[in-house]
Amino acid sequence: MLFFVLCLCLMLILKIITLKNVNYTRPQFLEKKKVVVVYYSNSGHTQKIAENIHQVVGGDIKQIELVKVQVGKL
């Protein structure tokens, strides 16, 4: 199952990179599924790809944010 999901993501990324400004329809097998696109982006490149994937598959989109840990006395 995980291999299938990774292959699907790779195919979507390749389509998004190679074909810009193309309207995509949501794949039929995702019609009744709950989808979330989760990403971490340091420079913004991954965010753009995640947003493009989100446009294709729909669902929710969430960004992973780092939490700064303070060491020492409060």
The secondary structure of the chain, three-state, reads CHHHHHHHHHHHHHHHHHCCCCCCCCCHHHCCCCCEEEECCCCCHHHHHHHHHHHHHCCEEEECCCCCCCCCCC
Q: What is the pTM of this model?
A: 0.56
For residue range 29-47, what is the model confidence (pLDDT) as tens digits? 667 778 889 999 988 888 9
In the chain, pLDDT over 70 holds for what percent of residues?
Answer: 69
How confident is residue 12, by pLDDT bands cut at 50, 70 and 90? Answer: confident
Q: Is residue 40 part of a domain?
A: yes
Question: Is the residue at 41 inside a domain?
Answer: yes
The number of distinct structural domains making up the chain is 1
Q: What is the pLDDT of residue 63?
A: 94
Please give the residue range of the domain that contains residue 57: 11-18+34-66
